[in-house]
Chain A
Amino acid sequence: MQDHIRHDILIVGGGLAGLRAAVAVHDGGRDVAVMSKVYPIRSHSGAAQGGVNASLGNHPDGDDDTWERHAFDTIKGSDYLADQPRAETLAREAPDRVVEMEHWGAYFSRFEDGRIAQRPFGGAGFPRTCFAADRTGHHLLHTLWQQCQKRGIVFYSEWQLTDIAVEEGRVAGVVALHIPTGELRAFEAGAVVLAGGGHGRIFSKTTNAYINTGSATAAAYRAGARLEDMEFVQFHPTTLFGTNILISEGVRGEGGLLYNSDGERFMESYAPSVMELAPRDIVARAIRTEVNEGRGFEGEYVHLDIRHLGPDVIKSRLPGIRQIAMDFAGVDPIDTSIPVQPGQHYSMGGVSSDEDGRTDIEGLLAVGECSCVSVHGANRLGGNSLLETLVFGKRAGDFALTLNGSGGGGETRALDDAVTRRRRSIEKLSAREGGERQAVVRSEMQDIMTDHVGVYREEAALERAVTELLELRDRYRRVTLDGSASHLNYDLIDTLELEGMLDLALITALGAVERTECRGSHWRTDHLGRDDGNWMKHTMATLGEDGLPVIDYEDVIITSYEPMERKY
């Protein structure tokens, strides 16, 4: 067996959370490396558009903003499922993390006085969202990547994580496959920070990149970590009809209006005081209802209109959106409304972790979308996900510095076993013949999730989803590869990832069946209303001995904010 690759602290994932953690570890003086299945700047953080929340108070309409107000808005937006001290940490540390990105070179848009510009977003009553045109994620991701280049941080690009090895309750390292060569290797590490992103691709209609398959989340689950609140899936109200590419909430923040096919500004019936700037779950349901009741356009979409903003504002504040609408829908928003519909956008659930990234497994930390801290609860506010990556990426990096383990010298039997097991399973998969392709199973899973585990949910459809997903897991065991390339074998990578996606899909559907209430993004048409008496708790999924998830519950941490009815 080849020597293991060794690092004190290994980060898995090269998006914003992973890069921010890497910078923290490097600046703390420890040996660190980042593994990513793509080149880091290809990460989906770069697709974030609208902005990042921080109570800077730079806009006259929000100059009395405080982090406490930000924390309250986040908790209310979460439909009171967020763990309150953690939401407070997110809001309290936001200004420092955002200003730091400016210091590192992020090209934020500016107000006339030279300060970072802020725009209104859903769930906050005034401008709190800092932005760089409508390409905030791109600017932040490239800035952090540049800071990593400056520090000479080691990257393992195009390495696909397959397994996390645990030795006596402590992380020992990971197994990964080098996509360009097909080489399978063990990475020994004293601590592993998972920052693998979300898993939106378990749905067919999603704003997520092809790469958002949740491979880190699924690997943590297989290694014994608990997954939290997986049934809470954010459906973004405005994704482009056809491709479901994201059309930023910033469009509504800049004054974009929603119209149905009768020409009515329908948000008046759903959130009369804040209209289009209601939180995402509310706007997504409003659009679905309009479509379901026959007031959508053919193809199940509504219109997002920004013509009244005029060419100057559109070109300076929303240039990326204009380009997307022209490239992918053939409409120029200066002259024509944008056709939009809800689509899966963000995974509130993930690897259960705390404000320092700690999971159930010692030495294994999780941050960013693959984690569930939980600060977003049942519904994430726009502008809080970029923020989460920066705040908890840094905190996890700082915490990793305090862990004693180093890469090397420890017991590695679990890691050696994990490599051997994975090698054998790949050999077995490669030798199998005559079965169906993974792509067929994948696409059926995605349709099941979109059709039955979507914006509106009810028991019969959810039960059906569970049954069908269990069948797909059986079919998955017989899939065969097409071709036998030793390197750059994407059919192999896709097949390995699908195993985890099926786990995540099943856990999502199971959690949704069990939760008989409406809270945030989880809306049960057969159980209307929030049920704080029974459901003020997090859903926890653990891998059972029979290979199926075991569902359990844990109380929400409530400190300063009494749950109230959530009205906008």
Chain B
Amino acid sequence: MKSRTFTFAIERFDPESGGKPRVQEYEIELAEGTTVLEALHQIQADLDGSLAFRYACRGAVCGSCAMLISGDVGLACRTQVHGLDTSVITIGPLPNLPVLRDLVVDMDIFFAKDAAVQPWLQPDEPAPERERLVPPEEWGEAEPYTNCILCASCHGVCPVPSRDPDYLGPAALGKHYRFLADPRDTADGKRLKLVDGEHGVGGCDTVWRCVRVCPKGVPPTKGILATRERLSPERD
């Protein structure tokens, strides 16, 4: 396999030390097929054990490693180093969330938004003995939204959180629509109230950045627009 030397220019920051963010460069030789996450691990193992970043599955299902890679938000595990077409790769923390250290951001803020939309199934009838029967034609609208892995990539690219910290954001609003569109969930009236207004679906700029960045094909903007549709007749 072909290998090449890359320079990783990584943003380092420890708010507890009182210093300012700085960029540290690491030179490293990487074989073709290496992902950004593997490169960070190699840097941590061979060059600098103090580098802090989150990871778990390395297969784009756990949602731990969203960060800024050469200026774009993405999952480090899913990004091929050789595919970036540059020998100098800049790495920074995911935007729109406070940095705890280096590439590790405070996710509690993000998870609180998720919790705010009551993301659990709310049926009004007691469960039958066996599974609820759902015909395939009703089974599908919610499906893309169930694939969200809460990686917060969408939150990182959204233009709204920086001007409105209370904005629920694309992940939570997408999750909200996942339940709104689920034929088993009957709490629509209550659910719609949770996201009405400027901090909810009204706050979206509809620039579709979240849809483009999502590593799992979730289309939050589409769900937000569908939710707005559902809200509008009730306003009349």
Interface: B58 (CB within 8 A): yes
Interface of B is mostly: loop
Interface residues in B118-165 by Cβ distance below 8 A to A read 118-121, 127, 129-136, 139, 142-143, 146-150
A105 touching B182 by the CB < 8 A rule? Answer: yes
User: A99, A107, A328: which contacts B59 (Cβ < 8 A)?
Assistant: A328
Neighbouring B residues of A41 by C-beta, 8 Å: 62-63, 149-150
Tell me the minimal C-beta distance from B91 to chain A in angstroms. 16
Interface-side segment among A108-116, A367-375, A516-524: A108-116
Neighbouring A residues of B50 by C-beta, 8 Å: 482-485, 489, 491
B119 touching A149 by the CB < 8 A rule? Answer: yes
Neighbouring A residues of B121 by C-beta, 8 Å: 104-105, 143, 146
Interface residues on A, range: 35 or more
B100 touching A44 by the CB < 8 A rule? Answer: no
B101 touching A487 by the CB < 8 A rule? Answer: yes
Q: Could you give, for residues 50-62 of chain B, a 1 whenever the CB lies within 8 Å of some chain A CB and a 0 otherwise? A: 1111111111111
A103 touching B127 by the CB < 8 A rule? Answer: yes
CA distance A139 to B64 in the complex (A): 17
Interface: B18 (CB within 8 A): no
Tell me the minimal C-beta distance from A296 to chain B in angstroms. 17
Question: Which A residue's beta carbon lies closest to that of B33?
Answer: A242
Interface size on B, residues (CB 8 A): 58
CA distance A437 to B42 in the complex (A): 13
B48 touching A482 by the CB < 8 A rule? Answer: yes
Neighbouring B residues of A107 by C-beta, 8 Å: 142-143, 146, 182
Interface: B49 (CB within 8 A): yes
B57 touching A209 by the CB < 8 A rule? Answer: yes
Interface: A246 (CB within 8 A): yes
Neighbouring B residues of A102 by C-beta, 8 Å: 131-132
User: B56, B57, B63, B120: which contacts A146 (Cβ < 8 A)?
Assistant: B120
Interface: B109 (CB within 8 A): no
Interface: B45 (CB within 8 A): yes
Interface: A323 (CB within 8 A): yes
Q: Could you give, for residues 437-465 of chain A, a 1 whenever the CB lies within 8 Å of some chain B CB and a 0 otherwise? A: 10110010000000000000000000000
Interface: A89 (CB within 8 A): no
CA distance A491 to B52 in the complex (A): 9
Number of A-B contacts (CB under 8 A): 158
A138 touching B52 by the CB < 8 A rule? Answer: no
B60 touching A327 by the CB < 8 A rule? Answer: yes
B57 touching A485 by the CB < 8 A rule? Answer: no
User: B64, B107, B136, B185: which contacts A112 (Cβ < 8 A)?
Assistant: B136
CA distance A559 to B101 in the complex (A): 56
A150-B120 CB under 8 A given contacts A114-B135, A482-B48: yes
Interface: A267 (CB within 8 A): no
B14 touching A103 by the CB < 8 A rule? Answer: no
Tell me the minimal C-beta distance from B80 to chain A in angstroms. 8
Neighbouring A residues of B53 by C-beta, 8 Å: 490
Neighbouring A residues of B52 by C-beta, 8 Å: 485, 488-490
A110 touching B59 by the CB < 8 A rule? Answer: no
- Could you say which of B58, B119, B135 has the most chain A C-beta atoms within 10 Å of its C-beta? B58
Tell me the minimal C-beta distance from B190 to chain A in angstroms. 14
User: A324, A327, A485: which contacts B14 (Cβ < 8 A)?
Assistant: A485
B134 touching A110 by the CB < 8 A rule? Answer: yes
A135 touching B147 by the CB < 8 A rule? Answer: yes
CA distance A177 to B51 in the complex (A): 18
Tell me the minimal C-beta distance from B236 to chain A in angstroms. 31
Tell me the minimal C-beta distance from A38 to chain B in angstroms. 5
Interface: A273 (CB within 8 A): no
Question: Which A residue's beta carbon lies closest to that of B111?
Answer: A39
B102 touching A38 by the CB < 8 A rule? Answer: no
Tell me the minimal C-beta distance from A527 to chain B in angstroms. 36
User: A110, A138, A328: which contacts B139 (Cβ < 8 A)?
Assistant: A110
B63 touching A115 by the CB < 8 A rule? Answer: no
Interface: A486 (CB within 8 A): yes
Neighbouring B residues of A328 by C-beta, 8 Å: 35, 59, 78
Question: Which A residue's beta carbon lies closest to that of B182?
Answer: A105
B58 touching A487 by the CB < 8 A rule? Answer: no
Interface: B16 (CB within 8 A): yes
Interface: B199 (CB within 8 A): no
Q: Could you give, for residues 137-175 of chain A, a 1 whenever the CB lies within 8 Å of some chain B CB and a 0 otherwise? A: 011001100110110000000000000000000000000
Q: Can you list 19 residue pairs at the A/B interface with Cβ under 8 Å? A: A43-B62, A99-B129, A107-B146, A107-B182, A110-B135, A115-B131, A139-B146, A143-B121, A149-B119, A209-B57, A211-B57, A245-B58, A323-B60, A440-B45, A484-B50, A485-B101, A488-B100, A489-B50, A490-B52
Q: List residues of B whose CB falls within 8 A of some A CB.
A: 14, 16, 33, 35, 41, 44-46, 48-64, 78, 100-102, 104, 107, 111, 115, 118-121, 127, 129-136, 139, 142-143, 146-150, 179, 182, 184-185
Q: List residues of A whose CB falls within 8 A of some B CB.
A: 38-39, 41-44, 46-47, 56, 99, 102-105, 107-108, 110-116, 132, 135, 138-139, 142-143, 146-147, 149-150, 180, 209-211, 242-243, 245-246, 320, 323-324, 327-328, 437, 439-440, 443, 481-491
